[in-house]
């Protein structure tokens, strides 16, 4: 279901819990699918003894990918025109993340309607882990 | 760095969608995908990151005949090369990622990627000492040579691991 410009207003929000109790196995899945085998995401010995972190932690791109699921559920398949984030905090095994999109602008360019969204993903403590934006083509 | 052949494959999209926890059937059911607006399976929005699988020189993948810096029974003690991205120990982390979609890609597309270095800049961080940011811009083109996705990544090298307090 695509969004429609006439039904959108600035400030509208859409929210999803994108993961509950993130597991180490999910980090292994993401490493395998993406090809990013950096041991800080899957190798506890390396990460604690060599890299100096308390445990393995999520690929930033896993959090961006999970946040992208919220976006495509909201705007529809094949509708995104832009999507960008800053990684503001690391994500750890056990984290539960909630992603939100908020309508910032509804605009028309050459007869095509677009929505600009503010994107934010927070952990179970309310701390932001991803801060970003997205734009999508919407129906009139 | 360049990738001469990044084939977009349905099975790879299934694995990637599972990894990001996305059960949308457009990613795993081609018959369903035909009934959707795009009319075919599309790749999830961050899928082009998986082009790393097709980059012969990608540094964060173990390779036959080369010692890997991750642990076996114990840490190998091997130092990572500069610029190998990701990780702690005063190493690099992913700071930003941006995508522009000119067209959404489908199984059957065969992409090429060219990577250009962008800006670099420095900042003093509260939790990890001096931060050195560097940007790369990757252009993904399809089998007709048309630009389909522009990706801009920013990596940051930290002076020390990020303080968790």
- The distance of B146 to chain A (nearest Cα, Å) reads 16
The pLDDT of residue B126 is 82
pLDDT under 70: residue ranges of chain A: 1
The pLDDT of residue B93 is 86
* Cβ-Cβ contacts under 8 Å for A83 (sequence gap 6 or more): A68, A71, A119, A132, A133, A134, A135, B45, B46, B98, B99, B101
- Which CATH number do you get for residue B94? 3.10.129.10
In a domain, residue B76? The reply is: no
- How many structural domains comprise chain B? 1
> Minimal CA–CA distance to A112: which of A83, A134, A81?
A81
- The distance of B94 to chain A (nearest Cα, Å) reads 6
* Cβ-Cβ contacts under 8 Å for B136 (sequence gap 6 or more): B115, B116, B117, B118, B152, B153, B155
Strand segments (E) across B2-49: 2-7
Chain B residues close to A138, C-beta within 8 Å = none
Q: pLDDT tens digits, chain B, 165 residues: what are they?
A: 689 999 999 999 999 999 999 999 999 999 999 999 999 999 999 999 999 999 999 999 999 999 999 999 998 877 665 444 443 334 578 999 999 999 999 999 999 999 999 899 999 988 878 899 999 999 999 999 999 999 999 999 887 787 876
Picking from B60, B98, B161, the nearest residue to A84 by CB comes out as B98
The pLDDT of residue A53 is 93
CB contact, 8 Å: A78 with chain B? Answer: yes
CB contact under 8 A, B20 and A43: no
The superfamily CATH assigns to domain A5-138 is: Hotdog Thioesterase (3.10.129.10)
Euclidean distance between CA atoms A15 and A115, whole angstroms = 16
Q: Which domain holds residue B7?
A: 2-57+82-158
Respond yes or no on whether ipTM tops 0.95: yes
Euclidean distance between CA atoms B114 and B137, whole angstroms = 8
């Amino acid at each position: 279901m695509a969004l429609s410009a006439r039904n959108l207003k600035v400030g509208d929000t859409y929210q999803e819990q994108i993961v509950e109790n993130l597991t180490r196995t999910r980090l292994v899945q993401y490493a395998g699918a993406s090809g990013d085998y950096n041991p800080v995401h899957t190798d506890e010995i390396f990460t604690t003894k060599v890299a100096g972190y308390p445990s393995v932690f999520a690929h930033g791109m896993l959090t961006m990918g999970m946040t992208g699921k919220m976006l495509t559920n909201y705007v529809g398949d094949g509708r995104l025109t832009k999507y960008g984030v800053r990684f503001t905090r690391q994500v750890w095994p056990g984290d539960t993340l909630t992603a939100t999109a908020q309508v910032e602008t509804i605009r028309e360019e050459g007869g095509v309607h677009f929505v600009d969204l503010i994107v934010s993903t927070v952990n179970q403590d309310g701390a932001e882990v991803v801060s970003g934006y997205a734009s999508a083509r919407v129906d009139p | 760095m360049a990738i001469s052949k990044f084939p977009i494959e349905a099975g790879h999209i299934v694995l990637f969608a599972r990894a990001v926890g996305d059960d949308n059937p457009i990613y795993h059911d081609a018959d369903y995908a035909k009934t959707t607006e795009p009319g075919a399976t599309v790749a999830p929005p961050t899928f082009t990151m998986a082009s790393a699988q097709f980059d012969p020189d990608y540094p964060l993948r173990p390779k036959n005949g080369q010692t890997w810096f991750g642990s076996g029974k114990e840490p190998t003690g091997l130092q990572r090369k500069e610029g190998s991205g990701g990780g702690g120990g005063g190493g690099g982390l992913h700071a930003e990622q941006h995508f522009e979609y000119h067209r959404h890609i489908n199984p059957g597309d065969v992409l090429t990627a060219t990577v250009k270095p962008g800006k670099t800049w420095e900042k003093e961080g509260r939790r990890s000492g001096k931060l050195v940011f560097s940007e790369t811009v990757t252009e993904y083109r399809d089998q007709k040579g048309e630009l389909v996705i522009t990706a801009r990544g920013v990596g940051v090298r930290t002076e020390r691991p990020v303080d968790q307090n």
